[in-house]
Structure 1
Amino acid sequence: MNTLSALIPASSLAPPLRPGLDGALLNHPRFLMAVAGFLVSIPVFVQAPLVRLYPWVSLGLTPLLWGLAAWLIRSKRGPAWGDLLFGFSCCWLAGSVYWGWLRWEPLWHLPIEAFAVPLVAWLLWRRQLKIGGLFYLGSLLGTAITDLYFYLIDVIPHWRSVMRVEAAPDLVMGIFQDAVIQVQTFNGQFWAMLLVLILVGLTLAPFFAVNLRRSQSLAWWGFIGAVGSTLLVDGVFWVFVVVQ
C-alpha cells in the first residue's frame, strides 16, 4: 500500500479544473458520465470474444492499461483520464480472469469482480483516484444488480448449462430460450421492472442534484454512468437472445 501511495501524485487527490485532455472530463460532467458508460458497455463486446479465444491476451492487456493509466496520472494534462483508466483496468482484469478461466461457476462471478474493493476503498479513504474508484464501484454495482436478478428468477442453472455446452451453438440457444421463458413469467417481469427502475433512478439522479455539479463531486458522474450503462449491456443481451 505504501509503495502504491508513493506512486500516486498529490495532484490526484482532488484534480482541479484544467484545460487540455482533462478539460472535457472535468469541465463537462455529462461528458464524464458518457465516457464512463462507454467504458462499461462498448469494450464488453470486444473483451467477450477475445477472452473466450485468447484469455491470456486479454489478461496481458491489463499491465498495458495500468502503465498507460500511471503515465496519464503523472502527466500534466491528462491525470483525470488516467484516473478513469485505472478504474477501467480493474474491471478489465476481473473480466479477463473470470470469463477466461472461472466462468463455469456463477458463484465466483461477483467475488472475482469485487477483487479490487479493498484497494479502491483505501484509495477513496485517502481521497485518491476518486474518478476511477467510483467508476469501478459503479460498474460493480451494475454487475451485482444483474447477478441478483439472475438469482431472483432462478436462471443460474441455465448459466451453468450454457458454460458446459458453449461449443454447441444450437444447444446454447435452446438454453437461452428456456431462460427467456423464466424472464417472461410474472416473477421475472416484476423483478426486471423493479431493478430497471432502480438503475434508471440512479442514472437520472445527477440531473436533479445540484451538488454533483461541483468539481469535487464530478467523480460521482462517472459512478452514475457506469451504473446506467448496465441497462444498455443487459438490454442488448436480451434483445439478441429474443431475436435468435
Structure 2
Amino acid sequence: MAAVRALPLLSAVLVTLPVFLQAPWVRHSPFTAAAFTAPLLTVALLLAHSGDPRRRRAGELLVGFCGSWLAGSLFWGWERLHPIYHLPLEAFALPLALAGLDSRWRLACGFYLGSLLGTAATDAAIALTGLMPLWPQALAAEPDQAGALLQSGAEAVLRPGSLLVIAGLGGILIQLSRWCWRQGDSGRVAGAALATTLAVDGLFVLLALLAPRLSGLV
C-alpha cells in the first residue's frame, strides 16, 4: 500500500518543481537549467536499473520528469514570449511517450503524458479566458509592471465568464484524473500529475493576486 501511495506522491511533487525551482532558475540562467537535464537523466537511469524495486520505479518516473524539465527549460528559456510554441515544445517527446506506454518505461510515459495534458488544459484556459495576449506582455515587462499585469490577469480570471470556463475545464481534468487512477500504476501517476496541475494553477492565481513576485514569473 505504501508503494502504491508513494508513486502518485512523487508525481505530485515533481509537478510542483517547475513552478518553484525551474521558473526562477530558467529566468536567470536558461542554459544551465536546460543542461541540468543531463545529470538528472543520469541519476534517473541509474535508479531505474537499481535492484531495489522502489528505487527502480522512482527512477522510471524521474525519466519522464526529465522530458518535462527539458521541454520547460527550452520554452521558458528562449521562447517564453511566443506562447504559440509552448505546447509544441512541451510535446516534443509525445510520440515516444505514447509508444512506451506498454513498455517497462510506462511510469515515465504516464508522468510525461499527465503533465502534458495538464499543460494543455492550462493553456486552453488562458486562451479561452482571453488572457493569452497578457502572457508575452507580462514576461517582457519590468518586474514592477509585470507584477501589476499578473494581478490584472488574476482579477480577470475571477470574472463570472472566466470562472465558468475554468470550472468546466477543472471538472474535465478531475474526471480524467479519476479515470486514470483506475488504470494501474502509470495511470495513477498521470492522474496525480493532472490533479496537482489544478492545485498549482490555483496557487499561481492566488500568488498573482497577493504576491506576484512569488509566482515564479517576475
TM-score (norm 1): 0.80
Structure 1: runs of 5+ lacking an equivalent: 1-22
Residue matched to 1:171: 145
Number of corresponding residues:
209
Residue matched to 1:79: 56
Structure 2: runs of 5+ lacking an equivalent: 212-218
Q: Structure 1 CA distance, aligned partners of 2:205 and 2:35?
A: 30
Q: Structure 2 CA distance, aligned partners of 1:89 and 1:194?
A: 30
Instruction: Report the CA distance shift for 1:89/1:197 in structure 2 as closer, same or farther (over 3 A).
Output: same
Q: Structure 2 CA distance, aligned partners of 1:191 and 1:39?
A: 27
- 1:242 is aligned, of 209, 213, 217, to 209
| RMSD, matched Cα | 1.8
CA contact (8 A) 1:69 1:82 kept: yes
Residue matched to 2:75: 98
- 1:190 is aligned, of 139, 159, 164, to 164
CA contact (8 A) 1:120 1:133 kept: yes
Percent identity over the alignment?
Answer: 35
Residue matched to 1:50: 25
Residue matched to 2:120: 144
CA contact (8 A) 1:202 1:228 kept: no
Residue matched to 1:225: 192
Matched ranges for 1:209-224 at <5 A? 209=182, 212=183, 217-224=184-191
Report deviation, 1:186.
Answer: 2.3
CA contact (8 A) 1:69 1:85 kept: yes
Q: Structure 1 CA distance, aligned partners of 2:161 and 2:150?
A: 18
SS, match of residue 75 in structure 1: coil
Instruction: Report the CA distance shift for 1:181/1:236 in structure 2 as closer, same or farther (over 3 A).
Output: closer
SS, match of residue 150 in structure 1: helix
CA contact (8 A) 1:37 1:226 kept: yes
Instruction: Report the CA distance shift for 1:193/1:100 in structure 2 as closer, same or farther (over 3 A).
Output: same
- 1:117 is aligned, of 74, 87, 94, to 94
Report deviation, 1:29.
Answer: 1.9
The C-alpha deviation readout for 1:71-129, integer Å capped at 9, x for no partner, is: 1222211221111010010011001100111100001011110001111122225x230
Q: Structure 1 CA distance, aligned partners of 2:208 and 2:18?
A: 20
Residue matched to 1:135: 111
Instruction: Report the CA distance shift for 1:73/1:181 in structure 2 as closer, same or farther (over 3 A).
Output: closer
CA contact (8 A) 1:123 1:129 kept: yes
Q: Structure 1 CA distance, aligned partners of 2:151 and 2:203?
A: 15
TM-score (norm 2): 0.89
